[in-house]
Amino acid sequence: MALTANFIDSKWNLHKRILSFTTVENHRGETIDKTIEKNLKSSGIDKVMTLTVDNASSNDTTMTYLVKRFSSGLLLKGEFLHIRCCAHILNFIVCDAFKEHYDCISRIRNAVRFVRSSPARAMKFKKCIKIEKISCKSLVCLDISTRWNFTYMMLDAATKFEKTFDRLEDEEPTFASECQPTKNYWENDRLLFRFLEVFYNVTLKVSGSLYSTSNVIFRQISTTHNCIQENSMDNENLIFVNVVKSMEAKFDKYWGNNEKTNLLLYVAVVLDPRYKLRLLSYLFQQVVRAI
C-alpha cells in the first residue's frame, strides 16, 4: 500500500511526497486503517484534510476508524474526509461495459496477442506493414484487461494497422482461422475508440500528480455525463447503445446525485477564479439530478 501526501507550503507551492510503501497482510478495513494511522503518525502528521482512496468496500471501515483517531485534526470533524478516486470510478464505468457487451475487444486483443506471440510472427507483421506502406512507427501493444485506458491504447494502435492485419491473413494462414477480426469488428472498434477518447482525456486530466485536480474533477464528471447522454440516443449500432446504457447505470450509481459526491469538490470549483458559482450552477443542472 502506497501512502502519498499532497500539500501546499507557505509560498503556495504544491508538493507531493510518498510517505510509505508498505506490505499489508490483507485487504480488510481494520488492517488498512491501522497501517495508515501508523504511517501518518510516524511521519509526524496529525492533521488531514481529505483522504483519496479507491472504491473497495473495506475503505468505508477505514474512514470510520481514521475519523475517530484523528478527530481533532480533521476538517469539520472528518465529515468530508473520504474522497472516492475519480479515475478508479471511470475505470469501473468503462470496464463493466466491456465485460458485459463488447466481444470485439477480445477479438482484436487476440489478433494483437497472435502478432506478439513469437518473433517470427512479429517479423511477418512488419513485412505486411511495409507492403501496405503504413508510415506509423509504433507497433501494436497488448492491453491489461483490468485497466481500460490500456485497452484504449491497444485499440488506438490496432486501428492504425487494420490493413496490415488483413494482409497478415495471406502471410500467416493460421491467423485467419484463429483470430482475424472481420470488417464489422473493425467498424465497432473505431466507433468505440472515438467514444472512449473522451474518457481517456478525462482520466489524464484527473490523474495529474504535479498540479491540483480537485477543482477540475466536477467539470470532468460533467464531460463524461454529456458524452454518455449524447451517445445513448440516435445511434444505429445496437451493441454500442447497450454498452452506453450500461455505462450510464454505473455513472448514476456513483455520481447520480449530490449525496454521492464529496462537497469539498464543489467548494474547489467555486474557489477557482475561472469557474466560481456560475459554472457550478450550470454543472448541477447537467449532472446532479436530485438537486
Could you state, in order of their start, the residue ranges of all structural domains in the chain? 2-84, 86-98+197-286, 102-195
Q: What is the pLDDT of residue 21?
A: 92
- Identify residue 7 by its one-letter amino acid code: F
Residue given cell 445496437 in the structure block:
238
Q: Mean pLDDT over residues 207-236, rounded?
A: 82
For residue 250, the cross-strand partners are: none
Q: Are 148 and 109 in contact (CB under 8 A)?
A: no
159-163, 231-235, 255-259 — most confident range: 159-163
Predicted local confidence at residue 282, as pLDDT: 78
Residue 75 to residue 246: CA distance in whole angstroms: 36
131 or 190: whose pLDDT is higher? 131
| Mean pLDDT across 187-215 | 85
Buried b (16+ CB within 10 A) or exposed e, 261-282: bbebbbebbeebeebeeebbee
Give the model confidence (pLDDT) of 112-132 as tens digits. Answer: 998 888 898 888 888 889 898
Please say if the pLDDT value at position 197 is more than 60. Answer: yes
Q: What is the average pLDDT across 252-263?
A: 77
pLDDT, tens digit (0-9, with 9 covering 90-100), for 234-246: 556 666 777 788 8
128-179 confidence digits (pLDDT tens) = 898 988 887 778 888 887 778 888 888 888 888 888 888 888 877 778 766 7
pLDDT at residue 11, rounded to an integer? 93
List, in order, residues 6 or more apart from 27 with CB less than 8 Å away. 56, 58
At residue 202 the predicted structure's pLDDT band, cuts being 50, 70 and 90, is: very high
Residue with cell string 490523474 = 207
Q: What is the pLDDT of residue 211?
A: 82
User: Is pLDDT of 102 > 70?
Assistant: no
Task: Cell 484527473: give the residue.
Answer: 206
Range 189-206 average pLDDT: 86
pLDDT band at 250; cut points 50, 70, 90: confident
- Going by pLDDT thresholds of 50, 70 and 90, the confidence category of residue 100 is low
The dihedral sign for the CA sequence 180, 190, 88, 5: positive
Q: Phi and psi at residue 255, in whole multiples of 5°? A: -130, 20
Percent of the chain scoring above 70 in pLDDT: 91
Residue, of 95 and 111, whose pLDDT is higher: 111
Range 53-81 burial, b when 16+ CB lie within 10 A, else e: beeeebbebbbebbbebbeeebeeebebb
User: How far is C-alpha 20 from the chain's CA centre?
Assistant: 24
Q: What pLDDT was estimated at residue 290? A: 36
Three-class HEC string of the chain: CEEEEEEECCCCCEEEEEEEECCCCCCCHHHHHHHHHHHHHHCCCCCECCEEECCCCHHHHHHHHHHHHCHHHEHHHHCCCEEECHHHHHHHHHHHHHHHHCHHHHHHHHHHHHHHCCHHHHHHHHHHHHHHCCCCCCCCCCCCCCCHHHHHHHHHHHHHCHHHHHHHHHHCHHHHHHCCCCHHHHHHHHHHHHHHHHHHHHHHHHCCCCCCCHHHHHHHHHHHHHHHHHHCCCCCCHHHHHHHHHHHHHHHHHHCCHHHCCCHHHHHHHHCCCCHHHHHHHHHHHCCCCC
- Mean pLDDT of all residues belonging to the chain: 83
pLDDT tens column, 24-81? 888 888 888 889 999 998 999 888 899 998 887 778 888 888 888 887 888 888 888 9
